[in-house]
Amino acid sequence: MSDSNNKAITGGEFIIRDVSCDEIFIPEEWTEEQRMIAQTCQDFVEQEVVPNLDRIDAMEEGLMESIVEKAGELGVLGISVPEDLGGMGMDFATSMLSTEALGQAHSFSVAHGAHTGIGTLPILYYGNEEQRKKYIPKLATGEWKAAYCLTEPSSGSDANSAKTKAELSEDGKHWIINGQKMWITNAGFADVFTVFAKIDDDENLSAFILEKGMEGITLNPEEKKLGIKGSSTRQVFFNNVKVPVENQLYERGKGFKIAVNILNIGRIKLAGGVLGGSKGVVTDSVNYANERNQFGRPISKYGAIKHKLAHMAIKCYAVESAIYRATQNIDDAINSMAAGGMDKAEATLKGIASFAPECAMLKVVGSEILDYVVDEGVQIHGGMGYSAETRIERSYRDARINRIFEGTNEINRMLTVDMILKKAMKGELDLMGPAMAIVGELTSIPDFGDAPSNVFEEYHGYVKKFKKAILMVAGAAAQKLAMTLAKEQEILMNIADIANEAYMAESVLLRTEKRVKLLGEADSAVQIEMMKAYIWDASNKINDAGRDALVSFAEGDELKMMLMGIKRYTKIDPFNIKESRRVVAQAVIDANKYCF
């Protein structure tokens, strides 16, 4: 969908490259077919999930399984499964859109995400032909449900330290698996388990496909949880489970590779799901604000409430812009590799892996935006927001897990910086040249150039400076701290926050600019205000994170120079931010829903 004469962008390259709005995909470009698929998913949530939320959270026997099966009958579980294996064979962007549409389904969205993502994809992408033919069609229809068994009591973020063992039987026909897994989503009703274990004394994990009926698999009772109460979460125990040797998935010792690649997909898919949840909360909140009267008028007429609604909507618009920008970059990379003769499954994995930094960034930003939105949603509802009678109370509890699973946000922040620096060390990204240029720029007289001719030229100038802030802080930290940088987690997280905000700011700018090209300035007036407001906030966050990082490792004249640099790179011409936010709030209030 993107059209550019330039060489296709690669993951992390946004830091050192100017990106044109013509290169990105924006949600305003969805086809009629894609919109219909999203509508089907939304209708399914409204008809099958929302009326049953209390029953789902009460873990009513058989209910979640039956809803998963209904989703399978509709085709919702097989959107990204190839047609010859019983799915719809749609592209990555369409599967992301369906994930977003199902993101308002509370516990069901977790069951759906685990089944279609980490449950199905290891077999789809790493299974041999026999394994794919045996399992994928039944997973695509929901006849079989899937779970993914990686986490153990002593191995969460450090997944490769797992202790579950696999040993070959004397006759060489079975793997004998012993161990335990915890926090396993869908465990209570799964038919198929992808289980990670170490063969003998291997350094790295291997993966195996287990079935519910295999002797020696037992489950603990359902975990009692803060939120997503309707999602089945159990410990799974393996006691001398005999697994046919043909059920080993992919190659020995390559299980960790499977886990890492599937988590990359899981991260960006989680961002899509939480986007759907965030939009739903904005709609719930504005509905309440328009109905609730205080001092003789709806509370939506008060500036304090408008401020909240605007912030909530702007954050949703920004993260949506970034998610579908990255999603299309991934689709383009997949198609390019497949066109070059690579197997489609392999191309899909490599395409997603090439944008692993963006997947980690979006997981962090998306989950934190959802947390912000639900928190403000409760506040707008006031006392009613604390009552279990309202959906916002459930949304508040259900949101919290998203900053923990698919890798905690702290781990993902550090991963983002680590992955980008590793790309630079491998020669895949030239960070050193641009970083050295920044050092020269800091000691020279600023070139103010010509005045920008329009708002987009002006804001491209700001985003370009945000990227210089990343290069300045990361470059100086890498030079000063060298091999010890990996241990300076606070500084790594500061750098990740600068990168996250720069990527989001650029995404919202490019989307709005392309929208004006497609639909005209008059039709995009509110979106322009959203863009300005988001980039204003981003400049403040980048300034804070940059200053925090710099004072943590630099000193003397060098520190003074770089503090002046961070001030220069985050400076934005002032405008009336209150009025910009009020324009956004009024659009949401008038529509009585999230309307962008």
Q: Give the Cα separation of 360 and 430 in Å (integer).
A: 21
CB atoms within 10 A of CB 524: 21
Which residue pairs from 54-60 have beta carbons closer than 8 angstroms and sit at least 24 positions apart in sequence? 56/106, 56/107, 56/108, 56/230, 57/106, 57/107, 57/229, 57/230, 57/394, 58/229, 58/230, 59/222, 59/229, 59/230, 59/232
At residue 382, the 3 state secondary structure works out as helix
Residues in the chain: 596
274 CB-near residues (< 8 Å, 6+ apart): 103, 366, 367, 369, 370, 399, 402
97 CB-near residues (< 8 Å, 6+ apart): 30, 34, 37, 38, 272
Contact of 524 with 33, CB cutoff 8 Å: no
Q: Give the Cα separation of 240 and 54 in Å (integer).
A: 38
Instruction: Return the half-sphere exposure (C-beta side, CA atoms, 13 A cut-off) of residue 510.
Output: 28
Catalytic site residues? 406
Nearest to 466 by CA among 163, 3, 15, 7: 15
- For residue 353, give both structure tokens: 């892996």
Q: Give the Cα separation of 347 and 340 in Å (integer).
A: 10
**DSSP assignment letter at 89:** -
Nearest to 459 by CA among 511, 519, 518, 495: 511
Instruction: Return the half-sphere exposure (C-beta side, CA atoms, 13 A cut-off) of residue 392.
Output: 26
Residue with tokens 């702290």: 410
Q: Give the Cα separation of 512 and 505 in Å (integer).
A: 11
Residue with tokens 């020269």: 440
Give one DSSP letter per residue of 147-167, joined into a string. EEE--BTTBSS-GGG---EEE
Residue type for position 279? K
Contact of 245 with 172, CB cutoff 8 Å: yes
Residue with tokens 């294996």: 85
Q: Give the Cα separation of 219 and 236 in Å (integer).
A: 5
